[in-house]
Chains A and B, each alone.
Chain A
Amino acid sequence: MTAVPSTSSNAQNPEHPQNPQNIVIVGNGQAGIQLVDSLRKEGYTGAITVIGEETHFPYQRPPLSKDFMAADKEPKPLPLRAEKFFTDNDVDSRLGVRVTSIDRAGHTVSLSDGSSIGYTTLVLATGAANRELNVPGSGLEGIYGLRTLADAEAVHARLDTVRSVVVIGAGFIGLEFAAAARKRGLDVTVLEYADRPMARALSPVMGNWFAQAHRNLGVNLRLGEGIASFIGDGSGQGNDGQASERGHVAAAVSTTGETYPADMVLVGIGVIPRTELAEQAGLSVSNGITVDSAMRTDDEDIYALGDCANYPSHHAEARTRLESVQNATDQARHTAKSILDTHDGGRDYTELPWFWSTQGDLRLQIAGIAHPDDETVLRGNPDGGKFSVFCFRSGRLVAVESVNQPADHMAARRLLAQERTLTPEQAADLDFDFKAYSKAAAAGV
């Protein structure tokens, strides 16, 4: 008997001749794995191949800069799904291989192990890569990034052996790490080129509050001071006093000429979306892989989502690229429906963005997307460490940032998801029951 080639999908679903038979997902992070889950939940029974370049089973990244660093013993990663999920769901999970190119005409991808895989639908969930420092001394040992489990294990293994750490960049990762390192009793200096921490993501009032909060924890937070170079310990070279790329880091020199001792350095200066495959394949790329509101690229058989995707954001009213768990998982659920054509509502992705960051005992929660020039109103008392910043644009509520105030955060998520607003006066008035107001709005009152 001769082998029968897999027949067209028409036999399976005559209404959808495009019904995909082999969905190939590049990337096994939060977005890629949620997509696998959602495709099966939507009833897709065809083949799924998911390709991850790390050798580890898929795991959750957010705890790596938080709980993982705070752990005393050897911490364990939290899997995104158990191994049996992949066998139970008949998923071809490839670990430790990279996709090296996409052949759009031939509908195949080539892998770093020399093999190739055919696809009917291709999904790019390639995430982002850490932006790298390029100052003198950046090649010294003891200078780390923090993105992968391997990074986190290397950093954690050093924490018991070092006295002073220098963090480059006061973003979420840098400050989460700084707070965890302080909790372990280490001397921590944070160098930040901007005039306030988390400047890209937070309102000035909240950013400035966090600056003071970290100083209260004992962090030496240096604002308006970037990294100029690193000085090595002179090992492995004739030490001529100049920065070198050999040996181990001993100190960091800032752009204002200050020198800070450093047994280790953590670099957290943002990320760059992984768009190289898309670019090679001739797909449209602009701060991420360009997709429409159904998460489809300009090739109708290729989708992109999560950290690597630039999509038309309903709530930001602009093209946006976000790096968050919520963005990855909600876009994955949406993409599954787009691929399978099972949207019961519209094809437009409209989920409200939300974020969180845990910095020591400080719990920051953000609903919506703030701009630095939004009008801001305080609710609660910042001195008490429990308050929210309500951000208004043209008189309409667009975002709420909360510290240790989860009730405000959840109420804001409900209200903003309904595209409802309140007045700045109501926001500031603690006698105004924000929670009840948001619940009524969500119930359609």
Chain B
Amino acid sequence: MAKVSFHHNDGNVDVLDVDPGTSLMRAAVTNGVAGIVGECGGQAMCATCHVYVRPEYLDGLPEISEDEEEMLECTADPRDEDRSRLGCQIKAGEGLDEIEVDVPASQI
């Protein structure tokens, strides 16, 4: 299992154990993590699964695709050039046994 932590603005943290290969968006939506919507079902069409990846995990991430790049320019909360990613494009357990992200205040 891979461990995914979603940190919220109010200090609460959702810690999930998920099957390797599960996207952060699917993990969050399936487990009811507040603030992650996944409106398009993981197609990088809507930017409602925006997360800020904590710096210590950035090296293990896949590269940003052209699709993700365009959507990251349209996030509801400001993009962080280093840390912003779409949760649907990051899979837990693939190069990252553990990952921690911060959940933005808004997605729409």
A residues within 8 Å of B by Cβ?
60, 62-63, 66-67, 78-79, 81-85, 88, 325, 329, 333, 356, 358, 363, 365, 406-407, 409-410
Tell me whether B71 and A60 are in contact (CB under 8 A). Answer: no
Contact (Cβ within 8 A) B39 A325: yes
- On whether A78 and B38 interact (CB within 8 A), knowing A62-B43, A410-B70, the answer reads yes
Partner of A356, one of B32, B45, B69: B45
Cβ of B2 within 8 Å of any chain A Cβ, yes or no, is: no
Nearest residue (CB) in A for B40 is: A325
Binding site for A on B (CB under 8 A): 26, 29-32, 38-46, 66-67, 69-71, 73-74, 108
Q: Are A88 and B32 in contact, CB atoms less than 8 angstroms apart?
A: yes
Q: How far is the CA of A62 from the CA of B43 in the complex (A)?
A: 9
Chain B residues contacting A363 (CB-CB under 8 Å) are: 67
Chain A residues with Cβ below 8 Å from B40 are 62, 325, 356
The chain A residue sitting closest to B32, CB to CB, is: A82
In whole angstroms, how far apart are the Cα atoms of A62 and B46 in the complex?
13
| Residue of B with least CB distance to A439 | B73
Distance (whole angstroms) from the CB of B7 to the closest CB of chain A: 18
Instruction: Return the chain A residue nearest B39 by Cβ.
Output: A329
A82 touching B29, Cβ below 8 Å: yes
Minimum CB–CB distance for A327 against chain B, Å = 12
Bound-state Cα–Cα, A66 to B43, Å: 10
Contact yes or no, B29 A78, CB < 8 A: yes
Name the residue on B nearest A358 (C-beta). B43
A410 touches B74 (CB 8 A): yes
- Do B32 and A60 have beta carbons less than 8 Å apart? no
Known: A407-B66, A410-B73. A78 touches B41 (CB 8 A): yes
Identify 13 residue pairs between A and B in the complex whose beta-carbon atoms are under 8 Å apart, listed by A's number. A60-B38, A60-B41, A62-B41, A63-B42, A78-B29, A83-B32, A356-B40, A356-B45, A358-B43, A406-B67, A406-B69, A410-B70, A410-B71
Which residue, B66, B71, B74, has most C-beta atoms of chain A within 10 A?
B66
